[in-house]
Structures are given as structure tokens and as C-alpha cells.
Chains A and B, each alone.
Chain A
Amino acid sequence: MATGQLAPSPPPGLSIARTGREGTGSWPLVDRIAFWLCWITGIGLCVTAVAIVLFMMVKGISYLHLDMLVRSPAPSAIQSQSGGILDPIVGTLIVAAIGTAIAAPIGVALAAWLSEYRRPAWLAHAVESAIEIIAGAPSVVLALFGLLIFSQGFLGFLSQTAANGAVYGRSFIAAGVVMAVLALPLIVGSVREALEQLPDRLREASYALGRTRATTIRRVLLPSIRPSIATGTVLGMGRIIGDTAIIRILLGVSLTNQGVGHLPILGALRGTGSTLTSYVYENSPAGEGNAPQKAYAAAFLLLVLVLALNGLVTWLTNAGAGERRGPRTAFRLLRFSGAQE
């Protein structure tokens, strides 16, 4: 903020803006109505959030049984016999792991280039706008693009190949890679913002010691913004585990994880499966299963995961706040996450 040069702010207790606590008695009626509307929307937002969490909690606790966590989904029209959610949980973890493992290093590298090198300038601008475009691209379209790429013949080893040579294009690897694209803007945004807020004296001190720019980035700058890298990664992970469109298009609609071939790990990664989001969708009235109890149970677990990641972000930003950042950084990054698919 450039406010410092404009006028020295009075000490907090004296700030004129605070005298507004005097109440609204003297205001014209229209202004008072607006004032109360502000209060209503603020409280309304809180009530909405609490209502969502409570509703899911009540439904989730009544339908989620511990044994569901260790049993695979079973095909059955009766909800009490349709098994557990082990496969979706494993699927969610696999996709989140692949996605963040790819997105984190690329995101950090891109952010470092955007903030420290930026040469040539036109390329930097083009890349910035490209990242904005990724952030705004509907995830269902990213999924369509991913399917197009991964069903190319030469990428057949990443998914299954049918008898007639057609490549299926749906696998954990395919879904994970496209998820990485989805998470990229969050990581780039978070790391870049942190790098730009680092004081120049850090860089100057490092150069003065004869370090190159690359060494400065690796040894000085990146270590000092670790909380922000973590924040971006966790936000990206949150976006990944909440996405349904990419899963349904790139991982298929089966509820169980089905490996391909005999290799233990690679086989599973090449195979199709489900995640919590696709499980919820398939079991909702909109999907094939129509088992609302199962859907509620899985959705509750998903919400718990999201809340846990949210808490982690808060903790991380507070950890970094001591040095240079307000707790609102994660808040500001919302524009990259927004509504999730």
C-alpha cells in the first residue's frame, strides 16, 4: 500500500475512521437502512455457512459408520448392503498426491520466474494472462482437453488400450495431471505474492556476497517463504479434492478402483476408479446409484477434509504472518479458487 507517503496515519486509538462507532442516530433514514442491510448480509453469510456445516454434520454422523471407511463399495440397490467408501478415499488421496506433486514444483518455478526474472517483459505478461485464463477456465473444459490428450495413441501406456487399439484415456494418472493444471494458479499466485513482498535488502545482501540470482532464489528467497509455498499447495490440494467434473470425465464412473495389468502400483495408477466427489455424485439422485445415505456419508467426510485443509491454511498463514504477511493472504487468493467443480 502506498498510503504511507500520503499521510502518516494517526495512532490506532485516535483514528478518525473509528469515531464512527458513535452510532447511526444522526444519519438519514436511507443511510441507516443501508447500514442495517450490511449487518444483515454479514450475519446471513455466517448463518449460511453454519447451516451448511450443521446440516452436513447431522446427516453425515447419522449415516457414516466407521466400518464404511474400511470396506469397498459393493453393487447393491439396498443402501445398507452397498458397502463402504474405502475406494473413494484411496482414490481421492491418489489424485490429490499426483496433482500436487506435479503442480507444486512447476508452480514455484513459474512464480520464481515471474517475480525474479520477468525477461522478456512481453512473455511475462503473456504468462500472467495465461495463468488468469487457467484460473478462470471451467474445469469441465480442462477435463475435455485432458481426455483429448490422454486418448492419443502414444500415451496409451498411461491408461488402458482397448482390443481395437483405441486408447481409453481415463486413468488416475490422466486425472492427476489435469488436476495439477487446476491447482497451478493457486500455487503460482501464493508464491509470487510472497516473493514480491520480500524486502529487496534480502536479495541485495545475497548479491553482495557474490551469489548468483539462481542461488539467491534457491538458498535465500524460497526458504524464507516456505509458509506461502505450503499455503499455495494446500489451497491447490483443496481445489483438487473438491473437483468432480475432471474425475467423472477422466477417471470414469465406476465406484471401485480397478487396476490394469499386473504391476502393483503402476497398474492401479493406469486404472480407473472413484474419488469422494464422484462417489457423492453417483450416489445422489442425479447419478446412477441414488443412495442418498451413502452420498451424505461421503459428502460429510469430504467436507471434513476440506475444513481440515482450511484450518491448515489458516495455521500456515498465521505462521507466516509474524514476518511480513497479514492473515488475509489466503483470503486474497480466493479469487483463484472460487467456485469449484
Chain B
Amino acid sequence: MTAGRIDRRVELTLGALAVAVLAMIAAMTATVIAKGWPSFSHNGLSWFGPGGDVDTQLRAMQEAKALPGHSLYYFRAWPLIWGTLVTTLAAVLIALVISTLAAIFLTEFAPPAMRRTLDPVIRLLAGVPSVIYGLIGILAIAPWINQHLLSNSRKASVSIVVQLNGANLTTATLILIVMILPIMVAISANALAAVPPAWREGSVALGVNRWRTIWRVSLRTARPAIIAATILATARALGEAVMLGMVSGGRGFAANPLDGITFLFEPVRPLAATIFQNSDGLTIPVLAHTIYAIGAVLLVSAAMLSLAGWAAKRQLGRYGIRA
């Protein structure tokens, strides 16, 4: 056999592997959606809407006793979707501000010693397993919030609807911010560091001070990367199950912004955490279909976000910058 034919064979083998990865993604999307389909088809579009207590509906499936007047599949995911939206958006927006400032600090202002410390610090924050974040949240932060920020009158004000304790929207969002910060800082800082020095020097030479230069030139050039970082962080926050399952209050409750400050202390339970906490019930067919339906929603949204982030990052190529 000639060397050329071996080469061809290697290329085909590696190519086949690549096709296999594609096939796996396709199979994953298809099977998860297919397994969840009964839940969607029984509920139609109102699957995404409000209606009743979602925890009661899940328990009914677990006990195989249909709620009066409804089929066993009856499921209204709005409280879970709302919980996901609120925690994700709040965390991402706050993290966007913090990470941009941190990235500027890292690339522009930090003295070399500080920079050498920040690199491992950010990698450490990214590396801490979410169950440890959850543990700190549930054993240290939640009790503190319960003791110091939650007055008894506040608890009493909503006690008919929901029990308040330290595990709530605020705790979940705070920890989520810490968890998504590292990727955002990493991507933004890399893009800022890659801005051609000549562009900034041009601005400084015109007498613009350094902050304005960063604001007008560097940030502007790195904008696609910052957008990409935000989108990717959103996908992370969306998929975070363990930590949120531990500290968000674990109650399928649609926290009501009309409650004022109390809103911040109401429990929620995002979609991913719901899957995680009901994973013991996967042997019960109806419950399994519902959980897979939630999984399908998460998978499709996360995939779209990943692709959007990827597309945003490719824009950077225009400036010859890699992020």
C-alpha cells in the first residue's frame, strides 16, 4: 500500500469521527425532544404558560394521580421559566458590568504583580465545582440572609402564599454572578488585550485620556467579544442545575415583582434545577416525559445561544483579533 493511500485512509477515519460527533449532537437533540414530545403534545403551547402550582402538577405525576379535571400530563412551566429568566438575566446583567470593569482592570490598570495574581484567581473561580458554590450558599450565605436581611414581618407579609427563608432569588443570583464572571472576564480580557496598540496610541496621541481611550477605542473594538461572552455566560447560567437547585429555594414559585423588595427574597426554581431535583422520578413514565420536555427546552435554548455566541466571536476576525 502506498503512503498516499494510508494518508487518505487516515483522513477518512478522522473525518468519520467528525461525522460521528455531528451525528451524536443530532441524535441527542432528536431523542431528547422525542422523549419529551408527549408532554408538549398534551399541553400544546400552554406548556409554556402559567396555570396552577407547578409543584402540585409534578407531584401528581409522581403519585400517578391526575389532578381533578386535568389529564395526568397537565403541566404549566411558567413559574420555572420565570425563575430561569429572572435569575439568568439579573446575574448576566450584573456580571456584564463587573466583568467589563474587571477585564479593563486586568488589561490596563493592574500592576504586573496584580495581573499575575488575577490570572490564577479567575481560573480558580471558574474551576470551583458548582456543588461547592451550592454548599457555601446553603450553609453560609442563606442562613446569613435569613437572619440579617429577612425580618419576621416580611416573612409574615407573604406567608399565605409562600414561605420565605435564606434560600431565595437573591442568594441564587449572587452566587450565579460569581460563577459566570470568570468566562466573561476571560473572553473580554483576551479581546481587550488583542486590540492593536497603535489604535490606542493614536487616541492617546490626540490628547484623549487613558480611560476615554479605553472606553472609545478598546471597548468598541472588543465589543463583539463582550457580546459573545455575555451570550455564552447566559447559556451557562441557563444550564446551571446543581447550585441553583441547592440555593434558589427549591420551590416552583413565580416570584412576583409587585411584592416590592420582598420579591428579592422569594424562592424560585429554574428549569435545570427542576430536572436535577426530579431525577429520581425518571422511572415514572409521565414524569420522565415532562422532565425530558424541560430538557429539550433547555437544550434548544442553550444550543441557539452557543451558536449566537460563536457567530458574534467570529466578527472579531474583521479586526484580526482572536478571542
Q: Which A residues are within 8 Å of any B CB, using their own CB?
A: 1-3, 6-7, 9, 15-17, 19-20, 24, 26-28, 31-32, 34-35, 37-42, 44-46, 48-49, 52-53, 55-56, 106, 109-110, 112-114, 117, 119, 123-124, 126-145, 147-149, 181, 184, 212-215, 217, 238, 241-245, 248-249, 253, 277, 280-281, 284-286, 292, 295-296, 299, 302-303, 306-307, 309-310, 313-314, 327-328, 330-332, 334-335, 337-341
Mind listing 23 A-B residue pairs with CB under 8 Å? A7-B197, A27-B211, A31-B212, A32-B211, A42-B118, A48-B125, A48-B178, A55-B140, A113-B18, A114-B18, A127-B18, A136-B303, A138-B240, A140-B272, A148-B35, A241-B129, A245-B242, A249-B282, A302-B129, A314-B120, A334-B126, A334-B183, A339-B240
Q: Which residues of A contact B19 (CB under 8 A)?
A: 123
CB neighbours (8 Å) of A134 from chain B are 21, 25
The contact string, 1 if C-beta is below 8 Å from chain A, for chain B 93-120, is 0000010011011101110001001111
Q: How far is the CA of A306 from the CA of B233 in the complex (A)?
A: 21
CA distance A93 to B291 in the complex (A): 30
Find out whether the CB atom of A284 lies under 8 angstroms from the CB atom of B211.
no
Contact at A42–B105, with CB atoms within 8 Å? Answer: yes
Inter-chain CB contacts under 8 Å: number? 341
B226-245 interface bits toward A, Cβ cutoff 8 Å, 1 = contact, 0 = none: 00010011011111111101
| A340 and B156 alpha carbons, distance in the complex (Å) | 36
Pick from A15, A143, A148, A280: contact of B31, CB below 8 A.
A148
Q: Is the interface of A mostly helix, strand, loop or mixed?
A: helix
Contacting residues, chain B, for A129 (C-beta < 8 A): 306-307, 310
Are B129 and A340 touching (Cβ within 8 A)? yes
Contacts of A52 in B (CB 8 A): 125, 128, 132, 136
A137-B306, A138-B239, A284-B138 given; 6 more Cβ-contact pairs under 8 Å: A3-B196, A24-B211, A130-B25, A214-B7, A331-B122, A334-B123
Which of B106, B130, B193 sits near A340, CB closer than 8 Å?
A: B130
Chain A residues lying within 8 Å of B305, measured Cβ to Cβ, are 136
Interface residue? B261 (CB, 8 A): no
Q: Which of A32, A49, A53 has the most CB of B within 10 A?
A: A49
Q: Is the CB of B205 within 8 A of A306?
A: no
B residues 241-262 near A (Cβ < 8 Å) are 241-243, 245-246, 250
- Closest A residue to B34 by beta carbon equals A148
A110 lies within 8 A of B132 (CB): no
Known: A45-B125, A123-B15, A132-B306. A280 touches B135 (CB 8 A): yes
Interface residues of B in 162-205 (CB under 8 A from A): 178-183, 185-187, 189-190, 193-194, 196-198, 200-201, 204-205
Residue of B nearest to A334 (CB): B186
| B124 at interface, CB cutoff 8 A | yes
Given the interface pairs A45-B118, A284-B134, A306-B127, the reply to whether A136 lies near B201 with Cβ below 8 Å is no
CA gap between A306 and B238 in the complex, in Å: 24
Q: What is the CA–CA distance of A45 and B323 in the complex, to the nearest angstrom?
A: 22
B108 contacts which chain A residues (CB < 8 A)?
Answer: 20, 38
Of A31, A136, A306, the contact of B306 (CB 8 Å cutoff): A136
Q: Are B298 and A341 in contact (CB under 8 A)?
A: no
How distant is A114 from chain B, measured CB to nearest CB, in Å? 7
Closest to B311 in A: A129
A307 and B124 in contact (CB under 8 A), knowing A41-B105, A339-B180? Answer: yes
B82: Cβ under 8 A from any A Cβ: no
In contact, A286 and B134 (Cβ under 8 angstroms)? yes
B144 surroundings in chain A (CB, below 8 A): none
Given A249-B282, A328-B190, answer yes or no on A133-B239 (Cβ-Cβ < 8 Å): no
For B187, what are the chain A residues with a Cβ–Cβ distance below 8 Å? 334-335
Measured between beta carbons, the chain B residues less than 8 angstroms from A314 are 120, 123
Interface assignment of B10: CB less than 8 Å from any CB of chain A: yes
Min Cβ gap A248→B in Å is 6
Q: By the criterion of a CB under 8 Å from any partner CB, how many residues of chain B are at the interface?
A: 113
Most chain-B Cβ atoms within 10 A of its Cβ — which of A24, A32, A35, A331?
A331
Decide yes or no whether B279 CB sits under 8 A from chain A: yes
Contact B239 A140 (CB under 8 A): yes
Judged by DSSP, the binding face of B is: helix
Instruction: Flag if B194 contacts A1 (CB, 8 Å).
Output: yes
- Chain B residues near A (Cβ < 8 Å): 3-4, 6-7, 10-11, 14-15, 17-19, 21-22, 24-25, 28, 31-32, 35, 98, 101-102, 104-106, 108-110, 114, 117-132, 134-136, 138-140, 178-183, 185-187, 189-190, 193-194, 196-198, 200-201, 204-205, 209-212, 215, 229, 232-233, 235-243, 245-246, 250, 272, 275-276, 279-280, 282, 291-292, 295, 298-299, 302-303, 305-307, 309-310, 320-323
Interface centre among A7, A41, A242 (most CB of B within 10 A): A41
Interface centre among B117, B178, B272, B306 (most CB of A within 10 A): B306
> Is B125 touching A49 in the complex (CB atoms < 8 A)?
yes
B14 touches A113 (CB 8 A): yes
CB nearest neighbor in A for B228 = A335
In the complex, what residues of B have CB within 8 A of residue A45's CB? Answer: 102, 118, 121-122, 125, 181, 185
Q: Are B180 and A338 in contact (CB under 8 A)?
A: yes
B198's contact among A7, A53, A144, by CB below 8 Å, is which? Answer: A7
B178's nearest neighbour on chain A, judged by CB, is A48
Is B295 within 8 A of A34, CB to CB? Answer: no
B294 to chain A minimum Cβ distance, whole angstroms, is: 9
A206 to chain B, nearest CB (A): 12
B-side contacts of A309, CB under 8 Å? 127
- Of all chain A residues, the one with the shortest Cβ separation from B117 is A46
CB neighbours of A19 from chain B (8 A)? 204
- Contact partner, A42, options B106, B246, B306, Cβ 8 Å: B106
Asked if A137 contacts B17 (CB within 8 A), the reply is: no
Minimum CB–CB distance for B277 against chain A, Å = 8
Residues of B within 8 A of A295 (CB): 135, 139
State how many angstroms separate the Cβ of B7 from the closest Cβ of chain A.
Answer: 4
